[in-house]
């Protein structure tokens, strides 16, 4: 065991959370025309039903409930696991009562009706382009030329891929009357032929956002537990980022630890397409409960706080480098490996390959950058309030840094090396309080920043709902839906 990556100075992986996700909210608009269309459709359905009094028509009306029909079929618990986005920051989010009746999009109804006529679906084969598809379907090359003049067609239909589908509508003599292509899960290119020309537009489907709950008990690893309980890696990484300031997920995770979280799910036509932010979460680690709740600042940026309003993000990173191991701990009386006499080691040595980036553990100002005796290339940061940190043995400094430069927590200030008195590449890290070296692994770090006064009232209002919602789900232990 190479344990001698020491230095002769007397004396966890964290990344700065960046949350910029915004709640995508799409209102439903109901123009008078749509209301009329809508009413006439209902009337049609009603008449059809009366005429036939056959059960097959009974299935039609729920089309109008497209976005709800999925939820209708779910067991009660699942039904309760969603809350419309518009409710997330309103008092009714206190209760996880989802599926609030809303006017559903009439577009969906119109589309369904059209599909029943002459539309048919073409699946794109390997090696096919628009010209080949036209040839295969017996469509006119004149129409193809005309179609290719449309800028939306050029932009979207040139790069169609095997396995994708086109919907086409044909008139007499194989004349193309309409074409639809799903650009993405939310956008559809719609082309109509009229008066010897094609007209195109892109239809945007509304994205709705709901809250969903997930729970997992750790058996082996975080990701293992996530997989078992349908929690995506993306959510788990966010979870680990939020709690990573309090818990070292590499070392502190125990069997029986519990994860509870509520998070945003974005849906189109009632189907989940992606997940958004974690809204509130609890991590029970070694029987200690840690809670975090999301709060959006006035720029709609997400930040995470404890329920009593302290930032989850601490003033100092747990470790300033992604190390392979701690090669020497803080030790007031150590036999020095090079000098062979008792010299105290008033820092922590993190062994890491040469060139590994070293991050400023907190916001601060450079008070020293350069060579200094056994430290070799060293950076000293002053963080205010009596705190300073020291980073020694660097192979080189990050560019453009000089004495007096302001650095931010997580900013790379240099790279691991073995300059000065060191017999292997490592970072020598010191944490000083009022100029005195303290053990960075044990020192009581300053408490995190509380929420700004101007946000306090809003914070209490918004976060209480989210925490209540989490607790309410927790009591029922609802399992999440699979996100495809
Ligand atoms: Zn050292």
- HEC secondary structure over 364-392: EEEEEEEEEHHHEEEEEEEEECCEEEEEE
Helix or strand (DSSP H, E) at 74: none
How many angstroms is it from 341 CA to the middle of ligand 1?
Answer: 15
**What is residue 334's predicted lDDT score, i.e. its pLDDT?**
61
> Ligand 1 centre and the CA of 395: distance in Å?
15
245 and 391 inside one domain: no
**CB burial of residue 33 (10 Å; 0-12, 13-18, 19+):** exposed
Give residue 83 CA to ligand 1 midpoint distance, Å: 53
Q: What is the whole-number distance in angstroms between the Cα of residue 91 and the centre of ligand 1?
A: 54
State the Cα angle at 257 between 253 and 258, rounded to 5°.
130
Whole-number pLDDT of residue 88: 47
Q: How far does residue 465's CA lie from ligand 1's centre (Å)?
A: 48
3-class SS of residue 422? strand
Ligand 1 centre to CA of 120 (Å) is 71
* E strand map for 50-96: 83-84
Residues 272 and 302 in one domain: yes
Half-sphere exposure (Cβ direction) of 409: Cα atoms closer than 13 Å: 18
Q: What is the separation of C-alpha 450 from the centre of its chain, rounded to a whole number of angstroms?
A: 24
CA of 422 to the centre of ligand 1 (A): 8
Spacing, Cα 349 to ligand 1 middle (Å): 5
Look at residue 41 in the predicted model and tell me its pLDDT.
Answer: 53
Separation CA 79–CA 286 (nearest Å): 32
How far is residue 197's CA from residue 176's CA, in Å, rounded to a whole number? 11
Question: Where does a domain end: 182, 204, 226?
Answer: 204
Compute the distance from residue 313 Cα to the ligand 1 centre, in Å: 27
Q: Based on the fold, state whether residues 312 and 461 are members of the same structural domain.
A: yes
Distance, in Å, from the CA atom of 60 to the CA atom of 54, rounded to the nearest integer, reads 11
Q: Is 149 among the domain residues?
A: yes
| Domain-terminating residue out of 204, 222, 245 | 204
For all residues of the chain together, what is the average pLDDT?
77
CATH number at residue 417: 2.70.70.10
Same structural domain, 420 and 462: no
From first CA to last CA, the distance across the chain in angstroms is: 45
Residues 331 and 426 in one domain: yes
138 & 220 share domain: no
Domain boundary among 204, 222, 242: 204
Ligand 1 centroid vs 415 CA: distance in angstroms? 15
Cα separation, 427 vs 437, in Å, equals 16
> Which of the four pLDDT bands, split at 50, 70 and 90, describes residue 50?
very low
Are 195 and 115 contained in the same domain? yes
Question: Quick check: is 66 in a domain?
Answer: no
pLDDT of residue 1: 38
Q: Mean pLDDT across the stretch 16-36?
A: 39
- Tens of pLDDT, residues 156-207: 888 888 999 999 998 888 889 999 999 988 899 999 998 888 999 999 999 9
- Look at residue 116 in the predicted model and tell me its pLDDT: 46
Whether 48 maps to a domain, the answer reads no
**Spacing, Cα 387 to ligand 1 middle (Å):** 19
pLDDT band for position 24 (cuts 50, 70, 90): very low
**Whether residue 241 is found in the same domain as residue 173:** no
Residues 331 and 309 in one domain: no
446/466: higher pLDDT: 466
In a 10 Å sphere around its CB, with 0-12 CB exposed, 13-18 middle and 19+ buried, how is residue 304 labelled? buried
Within a domain: 76 = no
Q: What is the CA radius of gyration of the chain?
A: 30
Q: Are residues 181 and 229 in the same domain?
A: no
Measured in angstroms, how far is the CA atom of residue 371 from the centroid of ligand 1?
Answer: 15
Two structure tokens written together for 194: 């009229």
Tokens standing for 2? Answer: 């190479």
Structural domain contains residue 91: no
Total tally of structural domains belonging to the chain: 3
What value does the mean pLDDT take over residues 141-149? Answer: 90
Label the pairing between strands 412-415 and 436-438.
Answer: unpaired
304: tokens are: 């995470």
pTM: 0.59
CA of 343 relative to ligand 1 center, distance in Å? 11
Residues with CB in 5 Å of ion ligand 1: 7, 347, 349, 428
The tokens 């509130």 sit on which residue? Answer: 280
CA–CA distance, 234 with 346 (Å, rounded to integer): 38
Q: How far away, in angstroms, is 212 Cα from ligand 1 center?
A: 47
Q: Per residue in 200-234, pLDDT tens?
A: 999 999 999 999 999 999 998 888 888 888 898 88
Tell me if 268 is assigned to some domain.
yes
Query: Would 57 be classed as within a structural domain?
Result: no
Same domain (yes/no): 313, 347: no
* Domain ranges, residue 142: 106-204
> How far is ligand 1, taken at its centre, from the CA of residue 427, in Å?
7
Q: What CATH number should be reported for the domain holding residue 118? A: 3.10.450.350
Question: How many CB atoms are closer than 10 A to CB 342?
Answer: 10
Output the CA 327–ligand 1 centroid distance in Å: 9
Specify the DSSP element, H or E, that contains 140.
none
User: Does residue 388 sit within a domain?
Assistant: yes
Gap from CA of 9 to ligand 1 centroid (Å): 6
Same domain, 330 and 402: yes
Q: How far is the CA of 214 from the centre of ligand 1 (A)?
A: 43
Q: What is the largest CA-CA distance in the chain?
A: 102
């Amino acid at each position: 065991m190479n344990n001698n990556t020491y230095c002769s100075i007397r004396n966890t992986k964290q990344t700065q959370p960046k949350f910029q996700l915004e709640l995508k909210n799409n209102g439903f608009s109901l123009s008078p025309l749509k209301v009329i269309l809508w009413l006439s459709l209902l009337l049609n359905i009603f008449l059809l039903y009366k005429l036939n009094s056959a059960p097959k028509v009974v299935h039609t009306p729920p089309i109008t409930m497209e976005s709800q029909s999925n939820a209708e079929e779910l067991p009660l618990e699942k039904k309760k696991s969603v809350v419309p986005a518009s409710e997330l920051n309103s008092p009714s989010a206190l209760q996880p009562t989802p599926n609030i009746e809303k006017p559903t999009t009439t577009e969906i109804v119109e589309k369904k009706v059209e599909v029943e006529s002459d539309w048919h679906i073409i699946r794109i084969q390997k090696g096919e382009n628009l010209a080949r598809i036209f040839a295969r379907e017996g469509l006119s090359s004149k129409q193809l030329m005309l179609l290719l003049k449309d800028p939306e067609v050029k932009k979207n239909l040139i790069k169609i891929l095997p396995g994708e589908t086109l919907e086409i509508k044909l008139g007499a003599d194989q004349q193309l009357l309409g074409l639809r292509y799903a650009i993405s899960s939310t956008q559809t290119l719609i082309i109509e032929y009229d008066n010897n020309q094609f007209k195109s537009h892109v239809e945007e489907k509304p994205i709705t956002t709901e809250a969903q709950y997930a729970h997992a008990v750790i058996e082996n690893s975080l990701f293992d537990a996530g997989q078992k309980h349908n929690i995506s890696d993306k959510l788990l990484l966010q979870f680990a980022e939020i709690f990573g300031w309090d818990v070292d997920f590499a070392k502190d995770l125990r069997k029986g630890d519990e994860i509870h979280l509520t998070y945003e799910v974005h849906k189109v036509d009632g189907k989940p397409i992606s997940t958004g932010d974690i809204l509130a979460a609890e991590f029970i680690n070694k029987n200690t409960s840690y809670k975090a709740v999301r709060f959006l600042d006035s720029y709609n940026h997400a930040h995470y706080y404890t329920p009593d309003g302290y930032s989850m993000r601490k003033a100092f990173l747990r470790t300033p480098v992604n190390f392979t191991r701690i090669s020497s701990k803080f030790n007031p009386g150590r036999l020095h490996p090079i000098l062979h006499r008792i010299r105290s080691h008033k820092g922590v040595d993190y062994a890491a390959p040469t060139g590994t980036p070293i991050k400023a553990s907190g916001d601060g100002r450079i008070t020293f950058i350069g060579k200094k005796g056994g430290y070799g290339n060293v950076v000293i940061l002053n963080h205010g309030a009596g705190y300073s940190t020291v980073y020694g043995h660097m192979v080189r400094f990050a560019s453009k840094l000089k004495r007096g430069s302001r650095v931010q927590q997580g900013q790379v200030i240099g790279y691991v090396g073995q300059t000065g008195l060191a017999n292997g590449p490592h970072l020598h890290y010191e944490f000083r309080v009022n100029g005195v070296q303290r053990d960075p692994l044990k020192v009581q770090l300053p408490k995190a920043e509380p929420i700004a006064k101007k946000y306090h009232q809003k914070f209490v209002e918004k976060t209480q709902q989210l925490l209540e919602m989490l607790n309410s789900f927790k009591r029922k232990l609802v399992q999440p839906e699979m996100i495809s």
